[in-house]
Structure 1
Amino acid sequence: MDDAYRELPFPGTDMALKTVHYVKGIEEPAIFNHSMRSYLYGRFLGEQQGLQPDGDYDDELLFLGCLLHDAGLSAEGNGDQRFDIDGADLAARFLTDQGMSAEKVDVVWDAVALHLHYEIAIRKRPEIALVTAGAGYDLGPEGPHTLPADYVHRIHAALPRLHAAAVLYDTIVGQALGKPHKAPPFSMPGELVRQRTRETWPTWEQLMTQPPSWNDYDGYQSKRCE
Structure 2
Amino acid sequence: MTDLDMDAFDGLPFPRTDLAVRAMRHARRIEDPAIFNHSMRTYLYGRFLGEQEGLRPGRDYDDELLFLGCVLHDAGLSAEGDGDQSFEIDGADLAARFLAGEGVADDRIAVVWDAIALHLCFAVAARKRPEIALVTAGAGYDLGPHGPALPDGYADRVHAVLPRLHAAAALEDAIIGQALAKPQKAPPFSMPGELVRQRTGQVWPTWEQLMSEAPSWNDYDGYHRPG
> Do the structures match in fold with TM over 0.5?
yes
Look up the match of 1:60: 64
Q: 2, 9, 20: which is aligned to 1:5?
A: 9
2:77 touches 2:174 (CA, 8 Å); kept in 1?
yes
Give the alignment's TM-score, normalised by structure 2: 0.97
The number of residues matched between the two structures is 223
Distance (whole Å) between structure 1 residues aligned to residue 211 and residue 84 of structure 2: 23
Look up the match of 1:204: 207
Map 1:1-226 → 2, pairs under 5 A: 1-143=5-147, 145-223=148-226
SS at match of 2:46: helix
Give the 4+ runs in structure 1 shifted more than 3 A.
none
CA shift, 1:212, in A, is 1.4
Distance (whole Å) between structure 2 residues aligned to residue 187 and residue 210 of structure 1: 19
Distance (whole Å) between structure 2 residues aligned to residue 157 and residue 213 of structure 1: 55
Equivalent AA in structure 1 for residue 25 of structure 2: H
Identity of aligned residues (%): 70
CA shift, 1:4, in A, is 3.0
Equivalent AA in structure 1 for residue 142 of structure 2: D
Distance (whole Å) between structure 2 residues aligned to residue 208 and residue 85 of structure 1: 25
SS at match of 2:153: helix
CA shift, 1:2, in A, is 4.4
**Root-mean-square deviation (CA), in Å?**
0.8
Deviation readout 1:72-106 (Å, 9 max, x if unpaired): 00000000000000000000000011000000000
Structure 1: 5+ residue stretches without partners: none
2:6 touches 2:14 (CA, 8 Å); kept in 1?
no
Equivalent AA in structure 2 for residue 103 of structure 1: D
Distance (whole Å) between structure 1 residues aligned to residue 18 and residue 163 of structure 2: 25
Equivalent AA in structure 2 for residue 141 of structure 1: P
Distance (whole Å) between structure 1 residues aligned to residue 104 and residue 223 of structure 2: 54
Deviation readout 1:151-208 (Å, 9 max, x if unpaired): 1111000000000000000000000000000000000000000000111100010000
Distance (whole Å) between structure 1 residues aligned to residue 97 and residue 11 of structure 2: 31
CA shift, 1:7, in A, is 1.1
Distance (whole Å) between structure 2 residues aligned to residue 4 and residue 81 of structure 1: 34
Give the alignment's TM-score, normalised by structure 1: 0.97
2:85 touches 2:184 (CA, 8 Å); kept in 1?
yes
SS at match of 2:56: coil
